[in-house]
Amino acid sequence: MRRLLLALPFALLPLAIAHAADEHDHDHEHGSLGAHEHGVGRLNAVLDGQALELELDSPAMNLVGFEHVATSAADKAKVAAARKQLENPLALFNLPKAAGCVISTQELNSPLFGDKPEADHDDDDHDDDAKDGAHEHHHDHSEIHAHFQFTCATPAALSNLDLTQVFKTFPATQKIQVQLIGPSGQQGVEATATAATLKF
């Protein structure tokens, strides 16, 4: 799911963000995320003609409040609620009706959604616990990835990307590092609840 956006050049981004992207790739390969920072999400937003693509990568902590696979009814309900919000991206990303955006593809991935099923949590620490043979409690970080593609009949109505609703819906999200690519070029922007509107 990251293929498309990873092909884009990172040359224009501030070093810090490019570096974070590198770390993420590394982590992604190993399926375990040690480097992510709770409270911080990442969003790639690309507007190209009528095609709008949004790709959100977030620590699960930001969206559901935990990162383990839900087993209790209460945790399962939280996962289901977050998933439902993510399945309604037109509202979540507050896309203006005037832009006439229609979802063309939608993809959600997370170990919390059962994408990497693990029968028991004592067999997923390939590196650490294998050495000492002890089954210490180990916190595995988990992310939630949401990838959306839209076709927008009137892209001129998309002068802004408003993330207000994302911060409202998932208040544990303190900031989102946004890579924005649109008619005016590519920019790396940091969005917060009080500065949630970005210009394409």
Site residues (CB under 5 A) for Zn ion?
59, 67, 141
Please give the residue whose beta carbon sits closest to Zn ion in the complex.
141
HEC assignment per residue over 58-83: EEHHHHHCCCCCCCCHHHHHHHHHHH
Q: Where are the alpha helices (DSSP H) in 123-182?
A: 128-132, 164-169
Smaller CB separation from Zn ion, 57 or 67: 67
According to DSSP, the residues that pair with 57 across neighbouring strands are: 42, 145
Q: Where are the alpha helices (DSSP H) in the chain?
A: 3-6, 15-30, 60-64, 73-86, 89-92, 128-132, 164-169
Q: How far is the CB of 57 from Zn ion (least distance, A)?
A: 12
Of 34, 146, 159, 143, the closest CA to residue 96 belongs to: 159
Smaller CB separation from Zn ion, 59 or 188: 59
Smaller CB separation from Zn ion, 33 or 92: 33
According to DSSP, the residues that pair with 102 across neighbouring strands are: 151
SS3 of residue 186 by DSSP: strand
Smaller CB separation from Zn ion, 59 or 155: 59
Q: How far is the CB of 38 from Zn ion (least distance, A)?
A: 6
Q: How far is the CB of 54 from Zn ion (least distance, A)?
A: 22
Smaller CB separation from Zn ion, 30 or 199: 30
